[in-house]
Amino acid sequence: MKCEKLKVLSDYNLYCITAEKLSKGRDNIEVVKSMLKSGVKIIQYREKKKTLREKLLECEKIRQMTLDYGCIFIINDNIEIAKMVFADGVHIGQDDYPLYKVREFLGDEFIIGLSTHSREQLLDAIKIGADYIGVGPIFQTFTKEDVCAPVGLEYLDIAVKESSIPFVTIGGIKEDNLDIVLNKGARCIAMVSEIVGADNIEEKISNVLIKIEKWGKRDVNSDRIC
């Protein structure tokens, strides 16, 4: 089952991340509903400012919504909530709990993604058993308060050549620079403000997916990851 879910992360795809403070007055539930209606297959819940209770109640709703649409549901950082709501996986950063402890807590069937910002971190993530990695931030981004400096397209080149596990390209990616990262070999693209901050989320996702799908048609040979 996990193998099938990971296949989505190695395909040409859009990985959407919530950010209520950037959503123009819309709450996370409304935003996720638009994402799902638009055909998004991977959604990460990322919410830094709410209480644990508020996050749990939102994630319970989103978990059911994603199940109804057959969408992979990833929770950022909070491994306890991920376990409580039976999410598909979690995404952790370099300063969060060690991956081996997260694996012990969640079990083998949970997807664990790890943010990486350098070749050394990429190789270490593979060695310690990450299921996928985040590669970035490629461009300048302001969606997180503690974000590191952009790693640039050079690190994306390294990930394309050296990553033996799926990776999600993230950081400042917009509709107007999407072709640049796709041309470099990125497949799964994470977007935050470009999606949640759009006046019309469904229209924006449609435009982005059209671009991604065009690149997918150029590469008919998909990688085997299992």
The pLDDT score that the predictor gives to residue 224 is 39
Radius of gyration of the chain from its Cα atoms, rounded to whole angstroms: 16
Look up the pTM and report it. Answer: 0.94
Domain residue ranges of the chain, discontinuous segments joined by + = 2-218
Q: In the predicted model, what is the mean pLDDT of the chain? A: 94
Instruction: Please identify every residue annotated as catalytic.
Output: 46, 115, 144
For residues 189 and 173, the answer to whether their CB atoms sit within 8 Å is yes
Determine whether domain 2-218 maps to CATH 3.30.1330.10. no
- Give the three-class secondary structure for 48: coil
Span 130-147, average pLDDT: 86
* Nearest residue to 138 (alpha-carbon basis) of 149, 147, 151, 148: 151
The pLDDT score that the predictor gives to residue 24 is 96
Lowest-pLDDT range, 18-32, 74-88, 103-117, 142-156? 142-156
